[in-house]
Structure 1
């Protein structure tokens, strides 16, 4: 019986380097670094110095066929995630795909379709925020029906400030050809995943997106999107990379209460003593006047405030540990790889709505999206 999963790290950049360090430090107790792969010759010298006993490859197929790895993690540009995932699964190598699962749903669908033919091979995605106890608690409250049916979601997440120098680090960054988008595919996929994980997928999306608004880039750095969930409920999602002060506030309003998450650290749960519809139908105008005049909220709802602590890297290592546990003993995955398509679909719909200047329906027209994306890539090349 395998005791530890030997992980092949594809791409020894910032993320791949962090994972290698986590494992080296013993923070993932059921995993070891089996091999490292990078096409950059300079990374070979880095790997030899930091991980002298770990085999190094410049071709990930060779690494997977070497017998040195049981699984891979794809710390490479987004377009490559589906292709590498498929190549791993083909060889019965377990695949942990970085977020996003891909740039467009058509390629992610291919990955999911192939993965479905290999149910015995583990396929996960690095949605580390799903291991965050705060968001697990929010999902539990929604799933239990504690605040009733959702009426509205609002998430403003502008804590992704990035200076121009960040984008100038490499030629592929913040380009349609290299990265496939901006804040929606680089920084905010975690929130897009959490939003659909907790509140479900919308039926329609309408967006106002700014491309190169406050940064000299081709892709989006400012997004305002409106969701229609198809049952009367609506949502608003706002994200940006130019707000140096940043806000992270997620509100979910239900028939029987409200959840407010501040800075991904504090959850305030307000549970109404009577459903809002009942209050509306039964309250006298005198009762209403008392509320307007500042009647104590304690008479209308109970309030619970929960604080959560965050430890850097702990969420990533938790996903890695859970992934390895699934390989070793079948522990259920917190973030199944097949879930990755939902966040990509949301990002695609937000882009497409802004490109077409109209509301788009989900599931979206995948061929139309790809055609429009290819137009952006062509325009970028001709500039």
Structure 2
């Protein structure tokens, strides 16, 4: 089968999409894909026939068109179906292998977070994606919150120097997942397929924003614990400190044991201003920049958030019911542009690898009981160290 390529310029044709994984995340991606005028869901790939059938039927109901084809394997779909873009929405531990197969077939790829659970596989995938990009094949990892208006407003303020020198940050994801969530699938809460707990799965997007705003991380120290759930191998609480190349320090907190479930919150502080993003909305922004001669005693730390964004994007405003879809839709727009232009997308596999390295550094620091250099993790110097499991049904710290 010949490699499918998109047309460019005016009148460019639709891009046929294969969604691999018919679960919740697959449905969320489908909702975004259906809203992009250039994307068309051609098939659903899922060995769980009921999951795949449910997604295919939903697509048909929303479009009024014939149901997308269904396949039990990506190999079968690639051999029989015209595909331009493969979207990986399967359990995390399967991401690298499926992505490698899709790239090998010359297809553009979108990978749901995280990149994978294995650093060696993710490292190899980073090299494969870079080689594919040199041939005009786009590969991107979902980091949709970088496209949120609140995130962009804070990023622009930092880039313009309006917050001064960034000194610190506090990132917290205080969510709740009941035992039923972990019991709903055999792969949940396992190191092999889930790759971790509250940090790897629930807080990974907040970690991504933290790194995007503060720059290159250099060292991590952490503790993790299993305190609120049973019958899982991974943590439901993680706390860490992260040092950055700039000298800035950050505190990271992730939990699925914070009943009844609060918000994802990111505070960034500098010598000339601070910003707070809460629940993807801008809660606070004060950026003095060069307008204040003496910042020793701020006289008017007014909240400038309303000057930066419309009311609908400010903390406390009613969130749009499709806000989750909008984040993905914005990233898909970026990916389609990259495909058309033959350029790298805004979010590359290398970005996803850095986030994965920091998450792994947290787990390794908690296991080893000492600070862990992030470069050691990136370079594979600690690949031989097994992250310690709490064991079935046990509660306690990973040390």
Q: TM-score range by the shorter chain?
A: 0.7 to 0.9
Q: Which residue of 2 aligns with 1:215?
A: 229
CA drift at 1:303 = 3.8
TM-score for both structures, normalised by structure 2? 0.83
Distance change (3 Å), C-alpha of 1:110 and 1:203: same
Task: Give deviations 1:46-93, integer Å, cap 9, x for gaps.
Answer: 356444431111110121232421110101111111121111111110
> Structure 1 CA distance, aligned partners of 2:36 and 2:152?
21
CA drift at 1:163 = 0.8
Is the counterpart of residue 111 in structure 1 residue 125 in structure 2? yes
Is the counterpart of residue 137 in structure 1 residue 153 in structure 2? yes
Q: Which residue of 2 aligns with 1:284?
A: none
CA drift at 1:35 = 1.2
> Structure 1 CA distance, aligned partners of 2:57 and 2:163?
54
Partners of 2:364 and 2:372 within 8 A in 1: yes
Q: Which residue of 1 aligns with 2:212?
A: 197
- Pairing 1:118-267 to 2, within 5 Å after superposition: 118-119=132-133, 120-158=136-174, 160-210=175-225, 212-216=226-230, 217-243=232-258, 244-267=260-283
CA drift at 1:19 = 2.4
- For structure 1, the residue ranges without an aligned partner over 5 or more in a row are 281-290
> Structure 1 CA distance, aligned partners of 2:364 and 2:373?
10
Q: Which residue of 1 aligns with 2:333?
A: 321
- Pairing 1:11-160 to 2, within 5 Å after superposition: 11-23=21-33, 26-46=34-54, 49-50=57-58, 51=60, 52-119=66-133, 120-158=136-174, 160=175
TM-score for both structures, normalised by structure 1? 0.86
Task: Give deviations 1:228-278, integer Å, cap 9, x for gaps.
Answer: 224432110111111114243322111222222233212422234779996
Partners of 2:44 and 2:56 within 8 A in 1: no
SS across alignment from 2:382: helix
Rg larger in structure: 1
Task: Give deviations 1:302-325, integer Å, cap 9, x for gaps.
Answer: 541234155231111222232123
> Structure 1 CA distance, aligned partners of 2:332 and 2:89?
13
Partners of 1:153 and 1:235 within 8 A in 2: yes
> Structure 2 CA distance, aligned partners of 1:236 and 1:47?
39
Paired residues, number: 359
SS across alignment from 1:318: helix
> Structure 1 CA distance, aligned partners of 2:366 and 2:224?
6
- For structure 2, the residue ranges without an aligned partner over 5 or more in a row are 1-6, 61-65, 314-318, 394-399
Q: Which residue of 2 aligns with 1:338?
A: 350
User: Which moved further from structure 2: 173-182 or 245-254?
Assistant: 245-254
CA drift at 1:209 = 1.1
> Structure 2 CA distance, aligned partners of 1:76 and 1:349?
24
Distance change (3 Å), C-alpha of 1:103 and 1:147: same
Aligned CA RMSD, in angstroms, stands at: 2.5
